[in-house]
C-alpha cells in the first residue's frame, strides 16, 4: 500500500494541520507497517498556478505529469488543509488544478463527467481558526472541507474523511481542546478507512 502525505500550511512548526497529518500518518503506519509513505510539502515546493501554456499543452509539462502520476499511484492520500480566508491555501489549490486532468483523474461521457481515481482513501486534516461547523453562517462561509469533498468526489473518490481541529485561534484553552479532540478522532477515523481499504493492501 502506498500513502501520499501532503502538507500545505505556511506556518511551519506552528501549524495545527501539519501536527495532525503527522499523527494520522503515524497511526496508519502503526496499523499497517508495510505502507510506504511519500511526502509532498506544497509550502516548500509549490507548483506554479495553471497558465495558458500548461493548459494548451494538455498538461504534458514535467510538473503536472509528476504530480498526477504521484497522486494516481497512491492508495491513501493524507492532506493537511488549513482554512485560509474561508478556503484552502493557494498552493493546495494549485496542486489540485494540476491533478484535474481529463483522461487522468476524470473523463467526460455522454452521461456527464466520470471520476477515474476510484478506490482511493483521502483523509483531510482540517484546521480552522474559528468555528464554522456549528452555525448556518459558518457553514455558508466555509469553502475548505466542502470544496475538497466536491473535488475529490469529482475524481471518483467516495471515501473522503475529515479530522478537524476548529477554533484554534480562539485562545490557548480552546486550541488545546480542539487539537486534543482532533487527535482523539484519528484512530476511529482510520479504523473505518482501513476497513474499507483492505482490498488495496
61-92, pLDDT tens digit by residue?
Answer: 999 999 999 999 999 999 999 999 999 999 99
Query: Given a cut of 60, is residue 176 above it in pLDDT?
Result: yes
When pLDDT is averaged across residues 86-107 and rounded to a whole number, the result is: 96
CATH code of the domain covering residue 21: 3.40.50.360
Question: Whose grid coordinates read 490557548?
Answer: 172
Q: What total number of domains does the chain contain?
A: 1
Establish whether 128 is an annotated binding residue: yes
Contact 86, 106 (CB under 8 A): no
C-alpha cell at 102: 481529463
123 exposure class (CB count in 10 Å sphere: 0-12, 13-18, 19+): buried
Establish whether 130 is an annotated binding residue: yes
Establish whether 174 is an annotated binding residue: no
Instruction: Report the mean per-residue pLDDT for the chain.
Output: 93
Query: Given a cut of 50, is residue 198 above it in pLDDT?
Result: no
CA distance 174 to 185: 17
Q: What range defines the domain where residue 170 resides?
A: 2-200
CA distance 62 to 105: 17
**Confidence category of residue 137, pLDDT binned at 50, 70, 90:** confident
Establish whether 129 is an annotated binding residue: yes
- CA 70 vs. chain centroid, Å, equals 14
CA distance 97 to 54: 11
Establish whether 16 is an annotated binding residue: yes
Residue 156 CB neighbour total at 10 angstroms: 17
Amino acid at each position: 500500500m502506498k500513502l501520499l502525505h501532503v502538507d500545505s500550511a505556511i506556518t511551519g512548526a506552528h501549524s495545527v494541520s501539519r501536527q495532525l497529518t503527522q499523527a494520522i500518518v503515524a497511526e496508519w503506519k502503526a496499523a499497517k507497517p508495510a505502507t510506504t509513505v511519500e511526502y509532498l510539502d506544497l509550502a516548500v515546493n509549490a507548483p506554479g498556478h495553471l497558465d495558458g501554456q500548461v493548459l494548451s499543452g494538455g498538461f504534458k509539462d514535467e510538473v503536472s505529469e509528476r504530480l498526477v502520476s504521484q497522486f494516481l499511484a497512491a492508495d491513501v492520500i493524507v492532506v493537511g488543509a488549513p482554512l485560509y480566508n474561508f478556503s484552502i491555501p493557494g498552493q493546495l489549490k494549485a496542486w489540485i488544478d494540476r491533478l484535474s486532468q481529463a483522461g487522468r483523474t476524470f473523463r467526460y461521457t455522454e452521461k456527464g463527467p466520470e471520476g477515474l481515481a476510484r478506490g482511493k482513501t483521502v483523509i483531510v486534516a482540517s484546521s480552522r481558526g474559528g468555528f464554522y461547523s456549528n452555525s448556518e453562517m459558518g457553514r455558508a462561509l466555509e469553502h475548505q472541507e466542502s470544496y475538497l469533498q466536491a473535488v475529490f468526489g469529482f475524481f471518483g473518490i467516495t471515501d473522503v474523511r475529515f479530522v478537524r481541529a476548529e477554533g484554534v485561534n480562539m485562545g490557548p484553552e480552546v486550541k488545546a481542546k480542539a487539537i486534543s479532540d482532533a487527535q482523539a478522532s484519528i484512530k476511529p477515523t482510520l479504523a473505518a478507512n482501513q476497513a474499507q481499504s483492505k482490498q488495496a493492501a
